[in-house]
Each structure stands twice: as C-alpha cells, then as structure tokens.
Structure 1
Amino acid sequence: MRDLLPSRDDYQLLRFSWKMDIAAGVTVGIVALPLALAFGVSSGVGAEAGLVTAIIAGLVAAIFGGSNVQVSGPTGAMVVVLAPIVAQYGVGAVALLSLMAGVIVLVAGVLRLGRTVSFIPWPVIEGFTAGIGVIIFLQQVPAAFGYSGHLPTNALLAAIHTVSHATKDAILPLLIIIVTAAIMIVLGKIAPKLPASFIAILVVSIGVALLKLPVELIGELPNSLPAPHLPDVNLEMFTSLLGPAFAVAALAAIESLLSARVAASMADTGPYNADRELVGQGLASISAGFFGGMPATGAIARTAVNVRSGGRTRIASIIHALVLLGVVYVAANIVAVIPLAALSGVLMVTASRMVSIEVISRVMRSTRSDAIVFVITAIVTISVDLVIAVGIGIAVATFFMLRRMSMNAGVFRETLPEPATLNDEKIGLFRIEGALFFGAAERLSQQILDYEDLEVVILRLSHIQMIDATGAHQLTELVNALERKNVTVLIKGVRKEHIHVLGVLGAIRSLRHENHLFDDLAPAVEHARKHVKIDNS
C-alpha cells in the first residue's frame, strides 16, 4: 500500500521549480475562483459550496493524489450530474452524497481499479466531453434569460422552455452575459496568458456596481471556512442516495483519471499513479463533504493552466487552494457583489471551448464506426445521463471492434507442398487466421465443414492470434464432426499460449490419435498422404 500514500519523492523537483510552482499556483487560483463560484451556483448548492470544495478538495487531492500537477475541485461534468440530484433530494443531501461517493472512489483506488480508464475508447471520451459542454451551455440559458420559474430537469428541455417563455426582463442578464463572453473571447485571442475569466468578471462587476443595475448577485459569503461536521444521515436518505453516489463516483473516477493522463502528456512532470489518484480524489470528496462541499474531480482546464504556467510539483496545486482560502478570509465581501449572469457567461464560454470543432471533424473523418460511437455517446450524454452514456459508448465501440475482429478472421484452403502425389485433392489443408472467438468461431468452422469428398483435414493453427473458450469449444466440435464423417483430422502449429485452453476444452483429446498433433507442416502433410493411401488400398 506504500505507493498509494504521499512520500518525499512527490517533491523531489521542488528545489528547482519552486518559483514556477508558486507563480503557477497563484495563476490557477485566479482562474479557479470564478469557475468554483459558477459551478457551485449552477449545481444548485450555492457559491459558498463551490468555493469550499475548491479549497478543501483541491488541497487534499494535491497532497494525496497520484498526479504531480493535477488541480481538483468542482467541475462542469459534476454540475451536470448534481443539478438533478439537488432538484430531487435538496441541497442538504449533497454533503452526504459527497461522503458516499468519496468512499466508493477511495475503495476503487485501494482495489487497484485505476487502470480501467485506459479501456475507454477515444471517441467515447470526446463524445462524452462534447456532450458535457453542450449541457453546461444549456444549463446557463435560464440564467441568461433571467427565468426563475419551474423548469424540467433535462437541460435541453429546460433551455427550450426558458426561451419559449422569455420576457423583456431577459434583456439585462443577456447583455451582461454577452459582455462577459466578449471580454473573455477577445482577451483569449490578444492576450492568452491573462486570466480572461477573472478579468471579465472584474470588469462586469465594476460596471454593474457603478451603474447600479438591478441584477441578481452572488450575495453574502462567509468570511471563514465552516467548521467540519458530519452531514445529517438517516437510513432512508442513505438508501435513496446509493444509486446517485455510484454514478457520481464513476464520473469522478473517469474525469480525474482522464485529466491526470492528459496532464502527464502535456509536459515532463513525472508519471501519474492511477490507483493513488483515485485514493486522493476519494479523500478529497470525503473531506469536502465534511465541510459542506460537493463531490470533486480532477479539472482538466485548471490542470492544463497549471502545467502551461510552469507548475511541476504538488506545491502549485496547494498554492492554488491557499489563494482561494485567502479570498474567503480577505475578499468575501468583494466576491458577494459579482452578478450571477457574469458567472453564467464564464460557463457558457468554458462550455463552448469543450466542444472542439477540430476534434469533432477529426473523429467524424476517421472511421464510420468511430464516428457512430462519438455521436451516440454525445447524444446519450445530452439526453439521458453521463455515466450511462460512457457505458453505452463503450458497448457500441466493443460491438464494432468485435465485428472487425470477426471480419478479419478467416479460413483459407492452401495447396499442399510439392511434390504432389496421387489423391492430394482428398486432403484439405486449412489455415485459420485472426481471432478464433465467439464472434467468428461458428462461421469459420462451418466453412470447413462445407467441403465435401475430403478424407484428411489438416488444421493450421499457428496464425491464430487469440482463442477464447467459445473458439476452443467450437474447434472441438469441428474435430468431432469431421471424425464422425470418417475424416481424419490433423492439427499443426498450436501456439504455446493456446495449448491450455485447447487441452481443457478437449480439442486435442478429440483427435483420433495422439500422433495427429504436429509442430511442423512437412511431417503433417506426409502423415496425411499416408492416411489417404491406406484408405484407398
């Protein structure tokens, strides 16, 4: 278990990078502030919970996580999952949900399940990301139109309902969102190194305050962290939240591991430990729950800012959390006057950047099956559920992969080596290629059985890349079927890694004689020719 715990090696680069780490930490803290507030408000738990989560979870994950540069906190994907949960169970359930999901993620790390994220295909990841971006954008539409009435839980339906019931009161919040987005977009092009979201919110907030515009603000925030406490727990609530907790835990694990993997590829910051990352993220969500926060994950956008700003050790992520902590104790009153519409503008721009036209174009132009996987994953993400979307995306990708494997598997009849002898046409030399598995075994077996007037069949198995239990069983059935037709079966070239499964499922025992198993082709053909001569004598 030692590799799942913090160690001195986590900070071995610190003496070379501490200046860059501090600068990166301050930069990420400034970038994270508006996002933490916005995600807290958008999820329904409030700006305070978003800020507390960014501080507590960000600090704990930085120390205990498996990545040297991962920045954790509230994220857009988690907001998408939490919003309907808050609507159904209320704000009071979120802290307990955070504890439950954190324990599940922690256990997954201890059980060494971190590497499973590598099995998620790239089109599924991109479809998932694009779908999240669309949902986050749609979730801001009610705020953009100043709508406060009852809304459907589905983001798409809520956006349609909001637009169809828009009034003249929507002009002011829409204008604030447009100005916020315009500042972010312009700054992103002319000065990409500046914290555009922070500057946009600062400018808009000052403008709203000077003009005394009647818009909804964040409101009063506490000027200190709340004391840690155990959330209210009762059996009924615990049971009701079990399903959502597993969904939140799955999302937290997937997003955090993907973020850590992306960070490791961006710069030479050292490898990441997937299992330790789950342990760290689990502890982060548990800690956030004790402080009244929400479940946290690794944040890809903030992690990328950290790496690009020069962050190389965990100190950068720790500094980011301390910067946010300083905001609570020093600038809570200033943060309170930020217009909610400005936060919606930040999230709309952030969501738009998650839907990359370039990436979508690359996926759609790759292969037809990958394009279908991408589209299905994105549609299910938007219309149904994030975790279900990943499951369906993986299932569809697996179907196409098995289909390709089945199509690439084949049986080929070969000509016997020279010199030819009398009655060679009664010997069938068949080379089986590809994967002999449940998707192809029966078809390949039937192709051999369709040949008539054969007295000996030689099965060349050395070109088979993989055999599963179904394939080995079907090979046994093929041997038995041929022997019942009085066709002698010889097997040539069983690979070392396939001997066990063929032996267990009886393919080798089904041969008429133990001498009918060969390593080389020449002896097998010679033996087959003797059988034909004997049968014709």
Structure 2
Amino acid sequence: MKSDWATATRRDLLAGVTVAIVALPLALGFGVASGLGAAAGLVTAIVAGAVATVFGGSNLQVSGPTGAMTVVLVPIVAKYGHTGVLTVGLLAGLMLLALAFARAGRYVRYVPAPVIEGFTLGIAGVIALQQLPAALGTPVPGHHVTMNAVRAAAEFARHPHWQPIALATGVVVIVLVGGRWRPGVPFSLVAVVTMTLAATGMDVARIGSLPSALPAPSLEFLDLGAITALLPSAVAVAALAALESLLCATVADAMHGRQRHNPDRELFGQGLANVVTPLFGGVPATAAIARTAVNVRTGASSRLAALTHAVVLALIVLAAAPLVAHIPLAVLAGVLIATAIRMVQFAAMRALMRGGKADALVFFLTAVTTLALDLVTAVIVGLVVASALALRAVARSVQVSRTVLDEHTVEFRLNGPLFFGAAQRLLFALADVTHARVVVRMSEVTTVDGTGAQMLRDAVDQLRGRGVEVEIAGVRPEHCNKLAVYGVPIPQPTVLA
C-alpha cells in the first residue's frame, strides 16, 4: 500500500513538472496576446493554477490563461486598459462564486456536441488570426482580430520582414512534426529554446522584462466608477470561464476513466481563482484543456500534479526571468498558432458532417459566429439554433393516427409528446371530422405541456360545438392534473388502454 502511494506521488510530481514545461510558453504567449504582457500570463498560471487546484472540483484540471479567454480580453484591453481587465476578472470571479452557490454546474451537460466543436474551431481560428501580426513582424493597432490580420498581411506584402515569419514557422513545424513523432516530449519548449537561440543577434521584438518575484497583492486597480460599464464584459468572461472549465473537467474525467469531478465545486474554485488572481496583476483564468490533457496523459491522479505545475512555474520566475525575457514575440506567436492547429479535431468534424444537416448547421454557425462576433454570443446562437432544430425533430416525431371504428365513430391515437411544437398537428387532424362520435386515445402520450392541453381543449370545444360527441380515453395518471387545469374533459377515474 505504501509502495502504491509512493508510486502515485512520483507520477504526480513528474506530471506536474511536465505540465509546467508545456505551460511556460503558453502562459507567456497568452499573456502577450491578451495585451497585458508576458508577466501577467505567468502570474495567472501560478496564482490561478494553485488556487483552482486546491479549491476546485477536479483532481486533474490545470488552470491558467487560455486562448479562448484571450480572445475575450483583447477588446476589453483596447477599450478600458489594464485596470479594466483586472476589474472584469474580479467581477467575473464573484459571478462564478454566485453560480457555484446556485448549483448551476450541472447544466453544462445540456450543451450539444456540435456547439462545443464549433466553439472550439472558432477559438482556434481566432487564436491563429490573432497571432498573425506578431508572426509576420507587422504589429498593427486595433482589437478587431480579422481586420488586424488582413492589415498585417497587407503591410507584410508591402514591406516583407522575413525573420519573424521564419521564427514562427520554425516553431510551428517543430511542435506539429515533433508532436506526431514523440507525443510525450514537450516540443513547445524545445521549439521556443531552439528558435530563441536561432534569433540571437536578430532585430526582432522580444517579450521584455519579467518580474523576478510575484507582485504584492493590491486592490489599487479596481475602477469603481467603471463597474457598471464593465458588467457585460464580466458576464462574458464568467460565462466563458464556467463553460470552458466544466467542459474541460468532463473531458479529463473521460480521459482518466476513474475520476468524477464536482461541477459546483469546480465553479467555486474557478471563481475564487479569478477573485484572487487580479490582486497579483493576472488576467482572468479558466481550466486549460491542452495542459489538463498533458496532465492526465503523463499519469496524474491527484491535485498534487497541478499544484506542482504552479510551484515549478514560480521557481522559473525566481530563477530564470532574465532568460525568459529574451524570447522573441514571433516565437510565442508560433507556439500559439501550433496550439490553434492542434485544437481542431478533424475526426469529430467528420463525424458531425456525417451526423446530418442539423448538426452540421449548428457546428458551422457556432464557428462562424465565434470568428465574426464573440465566443459567448456564438455559444448562445448555437444553443438557440440547436434547441430549435431539436424541437422541430421532436415535433415531427409526434404521430396522430386515425382509425374508423364504424360509420359513426372515428378514433385518433396520439403517440409522443403533446407540447407546443406538435399540438397544432392534433388541431388540424380533428378539424375536418364529420363523424358523430370521436375517441381521442392518449395512452401513448409521453408528456403534456400547457399549450398542448389548451389546444386539445379548444379542439374538443369546437367538435362539441358542431354536435360531435368527444371521448378522451387512456389518459395517464401523471397527465390528469395538467389536463384538468386547462379544462380538458377527462373521465374519472381514467382507464389506461
């Protein structure tokens, strides 16, 4: 037993070190991409990584700055500056805590797969476009990702500068090719070291100064006057943090096979992490799918692995900040572009294409909305369209069969849910009845909502107004109260048939 504990501990420590090596360039890159700088990315990975690990609901998750969150933060930085982002992070953290206490974590299971896959593809596209100016060595002002990429490409065409694009391309090739050759090797760090050494003496933009220690916590950034204006941005950040963290926890459980996360505790951990991280100058954080996957694949089984990742990153800040500061921005852009490419799940996309037009429509609509507007809007649009298509499918599955029993009597048998999406079909079926007696048999009705009950009552009233005798038969006991409330005449007691 003691030997098993020692083995598990060694695996967790090794997994934590491995994740830290993978997380270092990503934390730096996402910090730069957010507009707050590489130091903010490192601080976020350390502080949020530790707090979310200790207080979150998953034993396997690794939290920190992510590409999806970066996409949301760029326009906030452009409009409100550094303090606006920190204030938004704090507000979003408080919202996540409220969601945790409201036990809202369970509802993420209702997000359809096409929305998740479209959301992921859209994020990958935005991250790649976002890094194009740095990769081309042609930074341009503004926060509209697509327009910035177009302007950067046009500027590069007029005044090509080959060193940055060579560095970024080299990183992408090393990460993608190396990852397929030896998946267990942290090729992102290998690529960063290799290309940084290759850039020695080149005139390219670099990260710049990094802190040699974590800054002291402070509330001086809090902009009380702008809180009302920042609330919509905070809602977007909180929604994204909740969605990405809970989806990531679900993926981690599936990968491990023997772990189950607590969704409400996970929201609490992410909320607390986002309350604490801005005090140290960090950006809003969430669970990171890529780092979590590395954590699981390298044998992690407890929170010790993610906590070790945060400690190792803190040691890097203390011991190697001057070296890290010399990394070229184009190198980090290459890391993030490679990350974006690896985010695209081609097998899942092919499965969705074969799954039918409805799934394909939701997938592409979510992806395009992510690119054109923003992530939260994309998820909302995807959910609305997916829900509408699902309701249409359910409504079409409802069957109303007609059987003539004799020259005076006709029977209608309902099969499926009698709800607002399908009740009109029953009304049309009963509208042209010419027999003297109608039997509506409901033993195969699975559920009844208010609209369905109301339309059934209206149909009965219309038939009786034309002198047609109507009998409601086979009503299930669980539907009696609903029908009675809306005045549907049902026999008491009802007899199932």
**TM-score with structure 1 length normalisation?**
0.89
Aligned residues: 493
Measured in 2, the distance between the counterparts of 1:324 and 1:216 equals 24
SS at match of 1:272: coil
Q: Is the 8 A contact 2:141 2:148 kept in 1?
A: no
Q: Which runs of 5+ in 1 are unaligned?
A: 1-12, 417-423, 522-537
Q: Which runs of 5+ in 2 are unaligned?
A: none
Is 1:481 matched with 2:462? yes
The aligned counterpart of 1:110 is 101
Is 1:258 matched with 2:258? no
Measured in 1, the distance between the counterparts of 2:252 and 2:496 equals 50
| Residue correspondence of structure 1 range 64-213 to structure 2 within 5 A | 64-151=55-142, 153-166=143-156, 167-209=158-200, 212-213=201-202
Deviations 1:372-404 (Å, cap 9, x if unpaired)? 000110000000111000000001001111111
Measured in 2, the distance between the counterparts of 1:303 and 1:79 equals 18
Q: Is the 8 A contact 1:231 1:292 kept in 2?
A: no
Is 1:519 matched with 2:495? yes
Closer, same or farther: CA 65–269 of 1 in aligned 2, 3 Å: farther
Is 1:440 matched with 2:434? no
SS at match of 1:331: helix
Aligned residues: percent identity?
Answer: 46
**Shift of the alpha carbon at 1:115?**
1.1
Measured in 2, the distance between the counterparts of 1:82 and 1:410 equals 49
Deviations 1:96-125 (Å, cap 9, x if unpaired)? 111000000111011000011111110000
Is 1:501 matched with 2:477? no
Closer, same or farther: CA 496–178 of 1 in aligned 2, 3 Å: same
**Shift of the alpha carbon at 1:518?**
4.1
Measured in 2, the distance between the counterparts of 1:112 and 1:214 equals 53
Segment of structure 1 superposing worse, 88-97 or 53-62: 88-97
Measured in 1, the distance between the counterparts of 2:432 and 2:268 equals 56
Is 1:275 matched with 2:264? yes
Is 1:412 matched with 2:401? yes
Closer, same or farther: CA 118–231 of 1 in aligned 2, 3 Å: farther
Structure 2 counterpart of 1:309, one-letter code: T
The aligned counterpart of 1:339 is 328
SS at match of 1:412: strand
Deviations 1:195-248 (Å, cap 9, x if unpaired)? 010110011112222xx1111111111110000111433443111111100000
The aligned counterpart of 1:426 is 408
The aligned counterpart of 2:50 is 59
Closer, same or farther: CA 438–231 of 1 in aligned 2, 3 Å: farther
Deviations 1:236-283 (Å, cap 9, x if unpaired)? 311111110000000000000000000000113421111111000000
Measured in 2, the distance between the counterparts of 1:382 and 1:321 equals 32
**Shift of the alpha carbon at 1:79?**
0.4
SS at match of 1:229: coil
Measured in 2, the distance between the counterparts of 1:520 and 1:218 equals 74
SS at match of 1:460: strand
Deviations 1:300-328 (Å, cap 9, x if unpaired)? 11000000000010010000000101111
Measured in 2, the distance between the counterparts of 1:432 and 1:232 equals 63
Q: Is the 8 A contact 2:441 2:472 kept in 1?
A: yes
Q: Is the 8 A contact 2:174 2:187 kept in 1?
A: yes
Measured in 1, the distance between the counterparts of 2:461 and 2:155 equals 72
| Residue correspondence of structure 1 range 322-471 to structure 2 within 5 A | 322-416=311-405, 424-452=406-434, 454-471=435-452
Measured in 2, the distance between the counterparts of 1:97 and 1:384 equals 19
The aligned counterpart of 1:20 is 11
| Structure whose CA Rg is larger | 1
Closer, same or farther: CA 408–268 of 1 in aligned 2, 3 Å: closer
Measured in 2, the distance between the counterparts of 1:385 and 1:50 equals 21
Q: Is the 8 A contact 1:178 1:345 kept in 2?
A: yes
Measured in 2, the distance between the counterparts of 1:174 and 1:279 equals 42
Structure 2 counterpart of 1:426, one-letter code: H
Is 1:221 matched with 2:210? yes
CA RMSD of aligned residues (A): 1.4
Measured in 2, the distance between the counterparts of 1:214 and 1:204 equals 14
Q: Is the 8 A contact 1:95 1:231 kept in 2?
A: no
Q: Is the 8 A contact 1:142 1:159 kept in 2?
A: yes
Closer, same or farther: CA 492–231 of 1 in aligned 2, 3 Å: farther
**TM-score with structure 2 length normalisation?**
0.97
Q: Is the 8 A contact 1:105 1:279 kept in 2?
A: yes
Q: Is the 8 A contact 2:140 2:151 kept in 1?
A: no
